[in-house]
Structure formats: C-alpha cells, structure tokens
Chain A
Amino acid sequence: MRKLILATTALALGTGLASAQDRTVRMGTEGAYAPYNFVNDAGEIDGFERELGDELCKRAELTCEWVKNDWDSIIPNLVSGNYDTIMAGMTITDERDEVIDFTQDYQPPTPSPYVALSEDVDLENGVVAAQTGTLQAGYVAETGATLVEFATFDETIAALRNGEADAVLADHDYLAPVVEESGGELVFVGEPVPLGRGIGMGVRESDTDLRETFDSAISAMKEDGSLNELLKKWFGEDSPTY
C-alpha cells in the first residue's frame, strides 16, 4: 500500500516538473563521511545521502550521476560547474549560503558532541581536533581550546587515538558509530554543542529551477514519512526526525 502511495506522489510530482527533465544531474559528494556518504567495498558511493538522493531523483524524474570530490574544494567545483548539487552532510550556514544556495534541510539539526579517550579532558583549554572548513572547526576556534584541523574526519579520529588531540568535535551521526565500535576506548564527553540549521542540498545560486525541483521532492518525502524512515534506517531509532 505504501508503495502505491509513493508511486502516485512520484507521478503527481513528476508531471509538475517536466521542465527539469532530460537533463543529467551530477550529484557531488565526498565519499568519506559514513553513514552520510562513503565508498563501499564494491567501490560505489553508498550511504544515507546516496539512498535519499537516488529517491529524490526518481521522484523528480531526473537522471542522476554521483561524483566524488574532495571536501576542501567541494563548493568551488560546484560553482564552476563540475557538478550540479552537493549532498555531502553539509550543514546549512549563513557563510555558505552567501556563496551557494541550499534546498530545505533533509536532516534536522543535531547537536555536535565531543569525543575523547577519557572523561576528564579539558575541553576549555585543551587541544581539540576538527575537520577543516566545518562548523565545528569554526566553533572550536572561538572557544579557548587549541584547534587542530585535518582534511578528513578519519584523520581527526586518528589524531585523537595517537594523542595528538585531546578531543574531537564533529557531527553526532558521524561520531556515534565510531564510538560504538571502539569498544569503550572512545567516549562522549561534555555537553554537545548546538550548531547550524540542519543539513541541506547545495546548488548553484543561478540554478533556481533545480533547487525548486529538489525542494518539492524533499517536501513530498517529508510529508509521506519516507524521509523519516530513511533517517531511522541510517542513524538509528533515536535520531531526530520531521
């Protein structure tokens, strides 16, 4: 039954979006940010955003192709037209909004927690690792702590493990599985920091049609609950939903 409803909404949506058809939309992502996006054993892009993006494209009747790009240059390469969207766990911020446009959020804001090797680290004055160019890096720079930046999240965790950093500040949904699988080696510490306005899809400012297309597809997925199901599937039952 649910499939049927899905199909009819997709159909209803599809008719309204005829203008955006016949175009291959290139979806830019990082491929190094599980469970949002990562490269699986077969070498394909996988994760929450892959599944969500494919579903959105299906509903909007677009042909979509996934492209990997380094996080550092992900916005410049969108702007210069190497691909058409960014789905890379990118939090909507005013700073980024000045350069590119965002659709509405497809994951509600989740506070970012600190992770450390033990409970008694000094988050105020210690050394905190974060990924370059993220909200978390910006936040740490404003606190009294010393910020060390790394190009990937993987490296922040590696730095924590080898003692280079006292703690890591990152998105909850990225850290949760890491902490879970560390078998007690890593723990959440301190109070999570509320940051950002949720995660959205980035598009070029001049690409209004595409933004509206995806916006309405996201709205439809929010309304019929399919987005919530995806969120629960990838981030666990307790994850905030719409």
Chain B
Amino acid sequence: MFSFCTDPATLDRLPWFACYLTTGVHMSFYVAFLKVVALLVVTAPVALGFGFLGAMAARAHFAPLSLVGKTYIAIVRGVPDIAFFLFFVIALDQGFEWVRHKVLCPDWDQPIRQGNDFVVCAQAKLPLGNAAQWVHETYGFALAVITFSIVFGAFAANVLFGAMRAVPHAQLETAAAYGMSHGQVFRRVVVPQMWVYALPGLSNLWMVLIKATPLLFLLGIEDIVYWARELGGARMGRFSSYPHPDWRMWYFLVLLVFYLCFTRVSEILLERMTQRLSHGQATAGGDAQRDAGLA
C-alpha cells in the first residue's frame, strides 16, 4: 500500500501497523463489514415485505390463504434459526438447479442423485461452472439474503399480525359505518395506524437481525467473523511478511465494538421513530406527548 512497506521487518511499530492494516487480506476484512451492512440494508425491507404479505395472508377471510399465512409463521418461528439457515441455502440451491435442469436439459438420461452426488447438466449449474468467482460469491450472498428474509419475514409477520389487530376496533367499525369497503378500511385505517403498535416488536427484530449477521459465516460467506478468525490466528514469518502471535482476541474485540456501536445507533434512531409515530396516537406514548403539551 505505502511505498515504505517493502521490508516490513525493519519498520517501527507505527509504520509497521500502517502497512499491516493495509495489506490485501485486511482490505478483504474491511469489505466484509460492507457485506454485513449490505445484508442488513437488503434484508430488512425484503423481510418486512415478506412479513406484510404473511400477516395479510394470516388475517385473510379466505380460509386456505389464512392457513398458508399462519403455517408460514408457525413453522419458521418453531424451528431453530440455524437449522433453517443450513437447510434453506442447500435446498434453494438444489431446487433452482433441479428446475433449470428439467427445463434446459430434457434429454438428460442419468439420475440427478448418484449416490452422494447431486449431478445436473453443465448448463443447469447455478452459477455456470465457468462464471467468475465474484458471480459465485454474489449468488451465495443472494441465497443468504433470501434465507434471512424468509426467517425474519415470519417473525415480522407475527409482529404485524398482532399490530393490525391492536388498532382500536371502534375505529374500524366507524370506518365501515362511513361506507368504506374492507380494502379501504385496511388501507386507510389499519395500515397507517398499525406501525406504532408494530414498532417495539420490529425494533426488537432489527436488533436480533443485526446480531444474527455472523450466521453468514455458517453459510460459507467470508464475513467479518471469518476474517477476524483468519487474520487473528498466529502467522509465521515463512508465510507472511507480518508475523505475529495469536491476535484473535483483539480482532474479536473490534467486532464487539462494531456491533455495540451499530446497535446503539439503531436504538437512538428507533427511539426517535417511536416518538414521531406516537404523535397523536391513542397509546400510552401518544398520551404522554399530549400531557406534555407537545401535541
């Protein structure tokens, strides 16, 4: 990185660290932080979307749809996250490849499962065997996002389902009395008001989601936990210009600080959002604001 880094063994402590912390592997470590943030930025809205659909399905009047929604919530909530993460990533990948195989290679006469092997034709591989490594990594990342969204979507669905029911019933009846249709009541009364009831649950979920990001490591994605372990491990002079003893403790300390800062900032922002949403609401928070003369 810097011009003075050619012979690290001769450097003083400060320039040594300047060189050490800017090696290629450390760059991968820093990129991994972006991966975690990217996962959250993509997963949170997608999971909320899944949750909204799930909640809508669960409270539908059409019985089979309601059953689908409730089953989704019950199954995902009832199984340990880790089992789902490990299951979905493999199942989704093999499922996609199986479908592509059936569509793209109808003439294939060999079985897909040969003993332990899962064999599909070359055109059905996802990503294609000759694709660049970043394509493979992006694909793996996308699978992780889908899995996270399915799992957290179910929790969000449960929170939103409860929140929709918490909207005072008298308001819904009043809306109906004004001649609003079922859909209109939902769009104009339920959805705008449910957020204040959903927010405590959703903010809790957001915190859990932040703390669940190290699961990426389990899914074979090189996230910050992977790199902290890899970089922190003792390095020998024969294989690295920057030999050092076991520094894993320090690397994990960095992760700890990172997560603490992240959750703290989230807490502050969520608190502000609650304040804003409580404005004028018939809830304890809204009453408190009225009493203080804010409303």
Interface residues of chain A, those whose CB is within 8 Å of chain B, are 23-24, 26, 31-32, 34-35, 38-44, 46-47, 63, 65, 67-70, 73, 77, 79-82, 84, 99-100, 152, 154-155, 157-158, 161, 177-178, 181, 204-206
B contact residues around A42 at 8 Å (CB): 23-25
Tell me whether B47 is interfacial, beta carbon within 8 Å: no
A contact residues around B179 at 8 Å (CB): none
Pairwise interchain contact B117-A67, C-beta atoms closer than 8 A:
no
Tell me whether B93 is interfacial, beta carbon within 8 Å: yes
Hey, what's the 0/1 contact readout for B208-240 against A, CB within 8 Å counting as 1? 000000000000101000000110011011111
Tell me whether B58 is interfacial, beta carbon within 8 Å: no
Tell me whether B10 is interfacial, beta carbon within 8 Å: no
B contact residues around A204 at 8 Å (CB): 117, 119
Pairwise interchain contact A181-B237, C-beta atoms closer than 8 A:
yes
Q: Nearest chain-B residue to A100 (Cβ)?
A: B116
Given A26-B129, A77-B220, verify A39-B27 contact (CB < 8 Å): no
Tell me whether B118 is interfacial, beta carbon within 8 Å: yes
Pairwise interchain contact A157-B114, C-beta atoms closer than 8 A:
no
B contact residues around A177 at 8 Å (CB): 236, 238-239
Pairwise interchain contact B119-A81, C-beta atoms closer than 8 A:
yes
Tell me whether B241 is interfacial, beta carbon within 8 Å: yes
Q: Given the complex of chains A and B, what is the CA–CA distance between A157 and B117 in angstroms?
A: 35
Q: Given the complex of chains A and B, what is the CA–CA distance between A158 and B136 in angstroms?
A: 33
B contact residues around A152 at 8 Å (CB): 229, 233
Pairwise interchain contact A158-B130, C-beta atoms closer than 8 A:
no
Pairwise interchain contact B116-A79, C-beta atoms closer than 8 A:
yes
Known A41-B241, A80-B94, A206-B115; 10 more pairs at CB < 8 Å: A24-B130, A35-B239, A47-B239, A79-B117, A80-B90, A80-B118, A81-B117, A152-B229, A177-B238, A181-B238
Tell me whether B100 is interfacial, beta carbon within 8 Å: no
Tell me whether B246 is interfacial, beta carbon within 8 Å: yes
Interface residues of chain B, those whose CB is within 8 Å of chain A, are 23-25, 27-28, 90, 93-94, 97, 114-120, 122, 125, 129-131, 133, 136, 220, 222, 229-230, 233-234, 236-243, 246, 248
Q: Nearest chain-A residue to B118 (Cβ)?
A: A80
B239 in complex: contacting residue of A38, A84, A155, A205, CB < 8 Å? A38
Q: Nearest chain-B residue to A47 (Cβ)?
A: B239
Most buried by A among B116, B120, B234, B241: B116
A70 in complex: contacting residue of B93, B220, B239, CB < 8 Å? B220
Pairwise interchain contact A81-B236, C-beta atoms closer than 8 A:
no
Q: Given the complex of chains A and B, what is the CA–CA distance between A82 and B139 in angstroms?
A: 11
Pairwise interchain contact B23-A43, C-beta atoms closer than 8 A:
yes
Pairwise interchain contact A41-B236, C-beta atoms closer than 8 A:
no
Pairwise interchain contact B234-A157, C-beta atoms closer than 8 A:
yes
Pairwise interchain contact A178-B246, C-beta atoms closer than 8 A:
no
B contact residues around A80 at 8 Å (CB): 90, 93-94, 118
A contact residues around B220 at 8 Å (CB): 69-70, 73, 77, 82
Pairwise interchain contact B129-A23, C-beta atoms closer than 8 A:
yes
Q: Nearest chain-B residue to A80 (Cβ)?
A: B118
Q: Given the complex of chains A and B, what is the CA–CA distance between A153 and B115 in angstroms?
A: 31
Q: Given the complex of chains A and B, what is the CA–CA distance between A152 and B115 in angstroms?
A: 29
